[in-house]
Amino acid sequence: MKIPWPAGLIALLMLLGPTAVLAQRLDSRDIEVEVVNDRGRPFPQYPLRRSSKPTIYKAHLEAVRNSNYSIRIRNRSDQRIGVVIAVDGRNVISGSRSNLRPDERMYVLEPGQRETYEGWRSGRNRVNRFYFTDAGDSYAGAWGDYSAMGVVAVAAFREVVPYPPPRPQPQPWSDSREPSSAERRGPGAPPAAAQTPRMQSAPGTGYGESEWSPSRRVEFEAERRPFARFFLKYAWRDTLCRERVIDCDRERPRPPNRMWDEKDDYAPPPPRDERREEW
């Protein structure tokens, strides 16, 4: 594929470092990411060849100029997950530059939950809609940030599960001494996990109309590394055709319906019910 991926995106991948060893309980199949229109229909995607890293999914996406869109994510697993969403390199909740890190603002999905995110969060209960526009009219462009223009990125994180409280150790009957303060406290719990060129012709995502979108705060501690990452590089249709992402030469207009013969007999309107008219 000849469509260039933004240099900022490459730097982002380098910052994330090598893929961590995955636990058995979650993998990239436990999350589904789509970009959909206002009717809930996905925009066409054209996946790149499967990379050697099964935790990373990349695809080209056809953008439709001035169309609203939403990001629909489904948690297929049996546990909560957190998702950091970045559009054109900006976190969709905070609006800040995003490196898809676990300490960024994120949305939390319950087991089996599917949620649709319609825009840039401008308040607890408001968002401004995503829509495809020129890079110069985009939200990221307004901040002078063209480093990851035209990319919808999602990083999914497992939740850090706290260790269960230690069970008290029974004292033997033969021990009649007063237990020490350390013994009264019981064994210590294990330590918690460490926290650790501007292109006017290219598409970007605008800061559209404000809409009602309620949200609430929840507690969620993310693991240090994502278990799955999605990168959807969107472009105008003519760009996808020119770069041979889509084989537009095969898309010819459909021929008119062929009839069995050349007669001029067509289906007439149904006969009138004279009895109904007299009544």
Q: For 216-252, what is each residue's pLDDT tens digit? A: 888 898 899 999 999 999 999 999 999 889 888 765 5
Q: What is the structure's pLDDT at 171?
A: 58
In percent, the amount of the chain with pLDDT more than 70 equals: 66
Q: Which amino acid is at 58?
A: K
Q: What is the structure's pLDDT at 55?
A: 84
Q: What is the structure's pLDDT at 118?
A: 96
User: Which one, of 207, 194, 92, 199, lies nearest residue 150 by Cα?
Assistant: 199
Flag whether pLDDT at 3 surpasses 50: yes
What average pLDDT does range 37-52 have in this prediction? 85
Q: Which amino acid is at 230?
A: F
**Stated pTM of the model:** 0.69
Q: What is the structure's pLDDT at 76?
A: 93
- What would the DSSP string read from start to end of 28-93? GGGEEEEEE-TTSPBPPEEEPPPPS-TTEEEEEEEE-TT-EEEEEEEE-SSS-EEEEEEETTEETT
Q: For 66-118, what is each residue's pLDDT tens digit? A: 999 999 999 999 999 999 999 999 999 999 999 999 999 999 999 999 999 99
Strand 228-236 and strand 56-63: the pairing is parallel
The pLDDT confidence band at residue 256, using thresholds 50, 70 and 90, is low
The beta strand positions in 118-251, using DSSP E, are 119-123, 126-134, 151-158, 203-212, 228-236
278 three-state secondary structure:
helix
Alpha-carbon gap, residue 66 to 23, rounded angstroms? 42
Q: What is the mean pLDDT of the chain?
A: 78
Residue, of 258 and 93, whose pLDDT is higher: 93
Say which range, 50-54, 132-136, 206-210, 259-263, has the weakest mean pLDDT: 259-263
